[in-house]
Amino acid sequence: MLDQAILEYGREKGFHKQTLERWLKFPEADREAMLELARGLRTGENHFRDLMDWLEEVSLRDGVSVLEILKGKSIEPIWSDPRLGRNDKLRRIKEELRRLRFPRLVQVEGEIQKRIRQMKLRPQIKISVPPNLEGGTLTLQLRATGHEELRGLFREISQILEGTEMKEIFDLLMGREQNAGFSAS
């Protein structure tokens, strides 16, 4: 019955055979929980594969079932929040699962964003880091409509460079231990 329902959902959404085969290999309670999630969020294959990858890998790493992850304190409150629409739930559940799957990466990203906020930049100045921090570079964008405005932005950048935040961001990008806390033990 359950497997039939999974195959039906997969057919309806055009899932590849390999994706369905993987899904069907999970223990029954996990298969069912994943079906409930997929139906509730009406996920297409790409989102579902991300969710399945992360759930499986967190489960393997932490020795917990997929069902336990989905009913745990990170995901359940989002799932059962009546104020959230389907798209918001999908986005927040994916964010939360990514945080569970990549805890230290998300932590470093958070530390960088914290320092960017601490700089209290004008909206015309934007600092960004690459997706997943790969590349190790920081991008600085300035938007100005005139010469004087641009000079002002450069002055602000000079002041920012006098502070500690920018240096700390580069330290975080370089995996400097005192900030990143990379000891896995």
Partner 1 sequence: MLDFQPHEVIVEVGSEESPILRNLRRSLPGIPITFVDHPQRFLSAIRASKDPLGKGKRHLLLMRHKGDFLKKCPGSEGQVCCNYFVINFASNCPMECSYCYLQDYLAQNPALKVFSNVADLLEETYNLLSRHRRFFFRIGTGEITDSLALDPYIGFSEEIVPFFAEQPNVLLELKTKSDRVEGLLQLDPKGRIVVSWSMNPQRVIDEDEHLTASFDERLLAAHRCQEAGYKLGFHFDPMIEYPGWEEDYEKMVDRIFALVDHRRVAWISMGVLRNTPSLKRIMRQRFSSTRLLSGEQVLCPDGKMRYFQPLRVSMYRKMLRWIRAASPTVFVYLCMETKEVWEQVFGFAPSCEKELGNQMARR
Binding region for partner 1 (CB under 8 A): 18, 22, 56-58, 60-61, 101-105, 108, 132-137, 172-177, 180, 182-185
- Give the nearer residue to partner 1 in terms of CB position, either 90 or 108: 108
In the bound state with partner 1, the residue whose beta carbon lies nearer, of 136 and 163, is: 136
Could you give the CA distance from residue 143 to residue 28 in angstroms, rounded to a whole number?
Answer: 54
CA–CA gap between residue 116 and residue 165 (Å, rounded): 7
User: In 10 A of CB 55, how many CB atoms?
Assistant: 24
Least distance to partner 1, CB of residue 143, Å? 26
Q: What's the closest the beta carbon of residue 175 comes to partner 1, in angstroms?
A: 3
Which 3 state secondary structure label does DSSP give 139?
strand
Beta carbon of residue 14, minimum distance to partner 1 (angstroms, whole number): 19
Nearer to partner 1, 6 or 169 (CB): 169
CA distance 41 to 145: 43
125 or 129: whose CB is closer to partner 1? 129
Query: Least distance to partner 1 from the beta carbon of 10, Å?
Result: 17
Q: Closer CB to partner 1, residue 141 or residue 178?
A: 178
Q: How far is the CB of 169 from partner 1 (least distance, A)?
A: 11
Q: Which is nearer to partner 1, 58 or 125 (CB)?
A: 58
Residue 34: how many other CB atoms lie within 10 Å: 23
CA separation for the pair 106, 177 (Å, rounded): 16
Q: Would you say 180 and 104 are in contact if contact means Cβ atoms under 8 Å apart? A: yes
Using alpha carbons, select from 61, 79, 68, 80 the residue that is nearest to residue 27. Answer: 68
- Tokens at 175, concatenated: 């995996």
Q: Which two tokens stand for residue 29?
A: 């309670």
CB of 65 to partner 1, least distance (A): 15
